[in-house]
Amino acid sequence: MNGKVLRVGEISFINCNILYYYLKKRFPLDGAEFIEGTPARLNALLREGRLDLCLSSSIEYAKCPGEYLLLPDYCIGSRGAVPSIRLFSPLPLDRLDGARVALTTESATTVVLCRLILGPLLGYSNQFTVLDTDLEEGLSNFDAVLLIGDRALAAGKRAEGIYSHDLSTIWQAHTGFPFVFALWILREDSARRSRELVSAFQQSLRRTHALIHQPEEELVAGVLAKKGFFNRAELFDYWNHIAYELTDKHIRGLQLFYCLACESGLIPTVPEVRIFGSKKKYDTSLISLSRQNPVH
């Protein structure tokens, strides 16, 4: 397509495997180049202009909102509990005030979510340390450990006698909204330079989402062979807990997340939600929050 290349970030977590399988094997796009990495690494590449488009951490959009657009309709969000986003601790949730918490290096969004839950939502005061650790090492030095993705899923299998606090459930209980972990973030300069290619990618993405609720056997077998901590029933149950559609309610939850993050000094401002190919603008005024009266 005119010799242009669209550099697309690829996260290797199980919740994303189903998307990239179809994008690469069933609906390949001439001109799309996939680059693998953790969410944190891909955030950096996107910010540096070394990626054009990525299913990237939702907090990344708020860090450089003037440089980014969002592809419409799709995300990685919560549909109830999400077992790959967990705060592990020998302590119950109501005893985590003052706890020393180790935060994953793999995702900036989940780090902010954890800080907001323990801070503004629950009113706790905690000591946070961001580091690359696993369950056992983390709990030998801290009171709680935040893990995401495949690490969290694997840890959940061996966390006997340990509380596994589900952040998605806690967020929804206090706000009334689902949570958005990742968005399809597009650099605005890439959109101007490769608009036709981005539109073609959107078509591939739309065709992909038409199939993800009935995953092909080749995909299922490949994931099970690579991720030995899941059986078939657990894999399908996990995929069913992920919301892949960016609904209006998800966008409202996203706005609230940005508002709370801004009020807590974790991002500089509440970004305007700008959608590629759309003139629709979303209200960015602050949404009031009361722990006694959740927003619905």
pLDDT at 288: 45
- Considering only 148-152, 166-170, 185-189, 192-196, which range has the smallest mean pLDDT? 148-152
Decide if pLDDT at 279 tops 90. Answer: no
Strand order across the beta sheet in which 144-148 lies: 127-130, 100-103, 144-148, 85-89, 163-166
Q: Enumerate the CATH 3.40.190.10 domain ranges in the chain, comma separated.
A: 6-79+179-263, 85-175
233 backbone dihedrals φ, ψ, rounded to 5°: -60, -40
Domain 6-79+179-263 belongs to what topology? D-Maltodextrin-Binding Protein; domain 2 (3.40.190)
Query: Can you tell me the mean pLDDT for 232-243?
Result: 91
Beta strand pairing call for 127-130 and 100-103:
parallel
The tens digit of pLDDT for each residue in 138-174 reads 999 999 999 998 889 889 888 788 999 999 999 999 9
Domain 85-175 belongs to what topology? D-Maltodextrin-Binding Protein; domain 2 (3.40.190)
pLDDT at 2: 47
Question: Going by C-beta distance under 8 Å and a sequence separation of 6 or more, which residues neighbour residue 276?
Answer: 69, 70, 71, 72, 186, 191, 198, 202
Q: Nearest Cα to 18, choosing from 260, 271, 241, 228? A: 241
Decide if pLDDT at 294 tops 70. Answer: no
pLDDT at 157: 82
Instruction: Give Cα separations from 290 to 97, 144, 248 (angstroms).
Output: 19, 26, 21
What is the overall mean pLDDT for the chain?
90
H or E stretch including 204?
Answer: helix 195-209
Contact predicate 219/16, CB 8 Å: no
Cα(51)–Cα(49) distance, rounded to whole angstroms? 5
